[in-house]
A and B are shown apart, each in its own frame.
Chain A
Amino acid sequence: MAIEEDVIVVGGGVAGTVAALSAAETGASVRLITHKKSTLRHASGLIDVLGYTPDADGPLADPFEGLDSLPEEHPYRVVGEDAIREGLATFDDIVGDEYHGEHTDANALVPTHGGAVKPTARYPKAAAAGVASDDRDMLLVGFASMTDFEASLAADHLDAAGVPFEARGVTIEFPKRFRADAKVTRFAKALDTDEDVGGRGTREALAAAVEPHLDGAARVGFPSLLGDDHRHEVRADLEAYLGAEVFEVPMGPPSLPGLRLEDLLFDALDEAGVGISSGNKAVGYETDDGEVSAVIVDRKGREIPYHADAFVLATGGLVGKGIDSSREGVREPLFDCYIPHPDDRYDWFVEDAFGDHPFTSFGVVPDDRLRPTRADGHAEFENLFAAGGVVGGANVAAEKSASGVSLATGVVAGRAAGDSI
C-alpha cells in the first residue's frame, strides 16, 4: 500500500489539472492519474466560458449575462457565477502572460481557421493580434500543402460576418519543402529551430515569401504552427521582417495551441508538487463503508490500487472517453455512475445534424458539492467528486462553454475533495 495520497484525480485535461491544483491548494497531497494524451490536442486552445445561449442567441458580448438563460441542471447553475470567476482566476494564475482576456468580463471575438468568429474569454497571446474587434486590415496566409486552412475562404467568411476591417487571403508555398502530408508539428519544428533554407533561416524565408502580398495590411495571420518552445521569438522575428503584427489562427486537430496549453498545465502541477502517473488506465475501484478507498490502475496486466481519502472523476465526455455508449445504453465506465438517458437509442439524437441532440448533454448528475448522484438523488459515494466533460447538463459544443465548465467544476470539485480530508 505504498501508493497513497489524500486526493486522487483521474483525468489529465483542463478539469483534471485544475481540480488537482485546487485540491493541492487546500494542503492535501494529490496525485493525478491520466491514461492517454488528453483531448487538448484536438482543442483550439481557446478558453470559452459562454458564447451562445441554449436558444442559440449570440455571440454573447458578456458570458456572465447569459448565465440566467441556462437550464437548472447546467453545471454553471450548480456551481454559480463565483465558481466560474474562480476558475478563470486559477487559469490566469497558471498561464501568466501566455493568455490574454483577463482584463475584462467581455468575450473576445477570435477568428478561427474556417473564418468563423468565436466568442471566447481567454485566448493565447499568439492569437491576440487577430481579434475581430480590431479594425486594422488583415492578411491571412495559407500554405499550398496544408489543406486544413484555405486562407481566401476564411477571409471571405470573415467579410461575410461583417468584421470592421478588410480581410484578404493568400496561399503561398512554405519556403521549406516537406512531404505532401506533413503535420503541423513539422512546420513548427522548422520555425522553432529556424532550420536553414538555401542559406537563410526558415523564419526569414517565410517572411520574404509573404512580403510581396502584404500590400499595407497591418497584421498577418498564419495557421497555428509558428513554433513551439520558441513561439514568441518566431512571431517577433516575422514581425520584424514584415513590419506588421503577426498572429496565429486556431486550427483543428492536431492543435499546437492545445498542446502548448497542456504543457503549461502540467508545469503548474509540477510546481505545486502534484504527483502524476500517466500512461496507464484506471479500470476500477475498491470501496470501504460506502466510500471509494482506491482506484485500480491497470499497469500492463497487473492491477494496482491507488489509495486516497477523496477522488475526483475528470475523465472527459464522449470524446475523452469518460462517457461510453453502446447499443445497450450510455455509461460512465470507471465507477458506473448513473447517467440519465432515454432507453431507446433513437431518442438520443434528432434528425437535424446541427439540431438539439440530447446526447450532447449526457453525463453524471452532480449534487451541490459536485458529487455524482444515483437515480434517487443520493451521492454515489461520499468522497467522489466530478468535474469537466463527464458532468452532464451542458451542451458545451453549441454553447461554447467547454473550457469554462471544466475550470469552474474543476475548482469546486478539487477544493471539495481537498477540504473533505
Chain B
Amino acid sequence: MSDAQSPTDFDFEPVDDFEPVDVFDDSMDLRPGADNCYKCTACDTSCPVAEVDDEFPGPKFQGPEQWRLKRKEDVEIDDSILSCSNCMRCDNACPSSVPLSQMHNEARGEYVENQMDHRSREYIRNRILANYRTLAELGSKVPRITNAVMGNSLVQKLNEKLLGITAEREFPEFATQTFREWWRERGGAQVSSEEKRIAYFHGCYSNYNTPEVGKALVRVFEEFGYEIAVPRQRCSGTPMFANGMLDDAERAANVNVPEFKDLIDEGYDVIASCTSCSMSLKQEYPELFQISGIDEVSNHTYEALEYLRIYEDVQGALEGKSVDYPDLAYHAPCHARNQGLDRQAVELFREVDGFEIEDVGSSCSGISGTYGWKAEKYEKSMKIGEDMFDHMHHAKGSVGMTECPTCSMQMEHGSGYEIRHPLQLLEEAVA
C-alpha cells in the first residue's frame, strides 16, 4: 500500500505545470511526458514508417523510452531517429497527451548536433533539403533556367550520386512570378478594414512554386472583407525540424515571430495556406523555442479554411452553389489531421454542386516533406503511399486535392493526377 501515508508525511514537492524550454538547454525536463506513457502502443500502430520498415522501433521507443535511457550516462541517441518522418500521427493517437513529436524533435536535434558528422554527405544533403527556401530564392530569380536545369535527367542523376537526392522525383517547377512579386505588383491589400485583418504566412511553396494558391487566398479573404498583410517571413521550420536542424529553424523563427507579433498587436490573425506551416507556428514553435511573443503568434495562427469556418458563414456562402469543377480525390495531410482539419474540405465542399469530392482514406501520403526526397528513403516513401495511390485510382475523376505542398507532389508523382488546393476551389465558388 504505497500511498497508505498521506502526502503530508512526505517531503513532497508538487511538480509544476511543465513548460517546454529551449531544447539546447540541458535542463529540459520531459519526465512528466515520459511518465504519462502507459505503453498502450496506440502511437506505434498509427506510425506509417513502422508499418513498412522493420528496422524502425516506432514512436514509443523514440520518445518516452529513449528519453529514459538517456538518463544514464554514455547512452547515445539511436540513429533510427532519422527514419522518423515527423508526420506527428503519434501525437494524435496518444490518449495520454505524451508530447511524442516534441521528444522526437529534441532527440533528432541532439543526434544531428552531437552524433552526426557535419562533413558527411548525409548531413550536407539534409541541410540543403531543410533549407529549401534558400535554394528556392536563388532558383526563382531565373525560374526558366532553373526549371530546365533541375528537370534535366543528367542533373537528377548527379543529385542522386553526389548528394543522395532521389532521381525518381520531378523537381517542382518555379513560378515565373512569385507570389510576393504579384502582391507588390497589385499594390498590396485592396480591402481595408479595422475589424477584419489577417497576416498571410505564405511559406515557401506558395511563394515560389504555386502562387496561384496565395492569390486564391487573397481573393477569397478579400471577398469576405478582410484586410490582408504580407509581412517579411522565413521558412516555418517544418523541414528543419524533420532534419534535426533546430538552429536553422530557430534563426527563421527569430524573423517570423517579431514580424507577426507586431501585426497581431494591430489586430491581425495569422493565416497559413499550408497545413505544415500552421502546424509549426501553432505547436512546434512554443514547444521548441523561447522567443518573445511566440505564444501570441501560436495562439493567433490558423489554417485558412479553418479560420473561415470559425469566423465566417462560409457554409452559407457555398449553399446551393454550383461550380464547374472536376471530380476530386481529396487527401488529408497528416499535419492537417493533427490540427483537427482533416475533414473540413470534404465536409464543406460536399454541399457544393457540379462535382464529386471523395476522401482517399486516412493513410499518410508517405513523402513527409523532405523525407521522400532522400534516395535511401524513396522506396519506403512510395510504400507508405501505396494505400493512398490505390484509393486515388478508385476515386472518381483524375484530379487530386490537398493542402500540403509535398503531399501534392507525392499524389502527382504516384498517380499522374493534377493536384489543386481547397482555396482554389473556394475561390472558384465565392470570389
Contact = CB atoms under 8 A, between A and B. Distances in A.
B51 A300 contact: no
A189 B48 CA distance: 11
A189 B53 CA distance: 11
Contact of A183 (B45, B97, B338, B342): B45
Interface string B357-400: 00000000000000000000000000000110000000000000
Given A254-B42, A280-B340, A301 B95 contact: no
Contact of A253 (B40, B337, B341): B40
B282 interface: yes
A301 B50 contact: no
A37 interface: yes
B154 interface: no
A300 B40 contact: no
A146 interface: no
B364 to A, nearest CB: 13
Interface residues of A, number: 36
B41 A279 contact: no
Contacts of A280: 339-340
Contact of B42 (A41, A186, A189): A41
Contact of B340 (A39, A189, A277, A320): A277
A276 interface: yes
A179 B57 CA distance: 8
Contacts of A42: 40
Interface string B27-49: 00000000000001110111000
Given A2-B312, A179-B55, A183-B44, A302 B93 contact: no
B283 interface: yes
A193 B51 contact: no
A36 B93 contact: yes
A78 interface: no
A80 to B, nearest CB: 33
Contact of A185 (B51, B56, B94, B311): B51
A186 B54 contact: yes
Contacts of B52: 189
A195 B300 CA distance: 46
Interface SS of chain B: helix
A275 interface: yes
B356 interface: no
Contacts of B50: 183, 185-186
A37 B42 contact: yes
A299 to B, nearest CB: 7
A103 interface: no
A321 interface: yes
A37 B282 contact: no
A327 B7 contact: yes
B45 to A, nearest CB: 4
Contacts of B427: none
Given A37-B93, A41-B45, A2 B310 contact: yes
B340 A279 contact: yes
A36 B92 contact: yes
A182 interface: yes
B343 interface: yes
A185 B387 CA distance: 14
B314 interface: yes
B282 A193 contact: no
A321 B7 CA distance: 24
B347 interface: yes
A254 B45 contact: yes
A183 B58 contact: yes
Contact of A39 (B95, B306, B312): B95
Interface in B50-70: 50-52, 54-58
A279 B45 contact: no
Interface string B278-308: 0000110010000000010011111000101
A160 interface: no
Given A178-B54, A301-B298, A37 B340 contact: no
A259 B362 CA distance: 13
Interface in B252-295: 282-283, 286, 295
B315 interface: yes
Contacts of A36: 92-95, 97
A321 B299 CA distance: 25
B313 interface: yes
B40 A301 contact: no
A388 to B, nearest CB: 16
Contact of A179 (B54, B93, B312, B342): B54
A353 interface: no
Which of A185, A186, A300 gathers the greatest number of chain B CB atoms within 10 Å?
Answer: A300
Given A3-B310, A186-B50, A301-B298, A278 B343 contact: yes
9 contacts: A2-B309, A181-B57, A183-B45, A185-B44, A185-B45, A186-B50, A276-B343, A300-B283, A302-B300
Interface of A: 2-3, 36-37, 39, 41-42, 177-179, 181-186, 189, 193, 229, 253-254, 259, 275-280, 299-302, 304, 320-321, 327
Given A184-B45, A300-B339, A302-B299, 10 more contacts: A36-B93, A185-B51, A189-B51, A278-B340, A279-B339, A300-B283, A300-B298, A301-B299, A320-B95, A321-B95
